[in-house]
Structure 1
Amino acid sequence: PPAAPPPQDFSLGDPETRKITATMARLTNALLLGCCCGAAALVAPRGHGRVRLAPRMVAQPPVRSASAPSVWAPNSWTEKEVKQPPKYPDEGAVQDTIDELKGSAPLVFAGEVRDLHEALAKATAGNGFLLMGGDCAESFNEFSVDHVRDTFRVILQQALILTFGGSMPVIKVGRMAGQFAKPRSEPDEVRDGVALPSYRGDNINGEDFTPESRIHDPRRMLRAYHQSAQTLNILRAFATGGYADMSRLHAWNLDFVEKSEQGSQYRALGRQIDESLRF
């Protein structure tokens, strides 16, 4: 078995370094996004001012069981146990939706998947930090370019702080463009003695507490597909069109923190990074 990971060491030396690190922690909390860091932990080497990221665990390849299929296929999921499957009243509508989706363009392309695989492999070896952020569940009614942009720039801000503090590349993964389903603890929701199917996310049924809204509708998958395609197009435009460039780090501040203490701390950190880039 692998050795137990070493204990985290947060002794940061001089008071100025401790102040910077505390500021980073407050900023990260203020950004209101969770991050996943299973591959690495923040460790500060004694006698050095900068915080670095050191690997805590290297991922082991999964062990394939004898019953596992050797080749993946789009319908491989049908061989698995599904705990909370939708209950569609019209199987013909389900098949029509599947046929239409089969003829649609892929949302993510093979080259993008390969790039992510390579980046994640570096993170498992301790040479990168994985940052994941986004909504618990996306909504049809809340979709807008501004909402996608704001989520994107919050992730950029967190990645900037982690990169500056850890001196390590950050792999940014957005919980976006397809996060429409919600597992529920109970199959039904009861209000004032009336029981209706639980809201399972916009991908399956509606949130309004009416019999019509709570029907599981396969056509909602088509709307989710088209909204996901738009979201990815917006993200690709921002990522490749200059918005994500480090020189625009001061433009990433959200309005609700711009005049706050956290906003001031972020601007101070941004000035430090500007000076480093100019050097």
Structure 2
Amino acid sequence: MSFFGKNIKKIRSVKNLSQQAFADLFGLKRATLGAYEEGRSEPKIDTIIMVANKFSIKIDDILTRDLTVNELLQFKSGITTDVNELTQEKFASIPCITESNSSDYIQFYEKETFVNQMPALKLPVKNTLPLRGYTINNLEMTSHDKGLYPNDIVVGHYFPVNKIKELLNGTLVLVLVKGKLILRRLYLVKNTVVLRADHINIDDKEFDKKDIDEIWKIKYVFYKRIPDYKDDLEDQLSILANELSKIKRKIGE
């Protein structure tokens, strides 16, 4: 008879695991594990290998020696019961521009100490470039009951002003220009930057490219409400149906 049952009982004790929790780790029934610990049954070789590998114990040791608690404490394990030893996933900390701090941001955006003290969003996103959050406070980017509404949040990554020509026309951006923060779609006409709202009643804003202080290319959008994608789909299907009708008419001519 091997020492397997006695040793796994000690492992459970050291790791503060119940029979059920231990059995679940290896796809065993609790009763089966109990039989191993009481010496009423011997495990299959696959089970022995799984347990030995999990706790970095030599198969020969777990089967042929009555391992001491001190020895077991020295073995490495993929399981920890100490919350301080758990690997904590770190979300990106994204400074966020809000309605209450926007005026300060315009004044101190270049100061790292100010940016570090801004309220931050914690989001599971990865980006090699700096990120900036922005809370919507107007209806400029709405169109036919769709788009961005107050309290929605956008997140953009830093885009160098000297590479503005690389942006595609219509790109959604947050721009700091002449003491204003403007969230709109960007169009470049020679050296003139045109910022256009989605709302049809809002006039374009035009600036010289040299007046732009910062550009944040919008990468993520977080809605306060759930958007109605059904209407979007119906609109697209309607457009597609109209295009097909035009094609059929041309073929028939």
Q: Compute the TM-score of the two structures, normalised by the length of structure 2.
A: 0.20
- Higher RCO (Cα < 8 Å, 6 or more apart): 1
**Quick check: which one's strand share is greater?**
2
Q: Which has the larger radius of gyration?
A: 2
**Quick check: which one's helix share is greater?**
1
Q: Compute the TM-score of the two structures, normalised by the length of structure 1.
A: 0.19
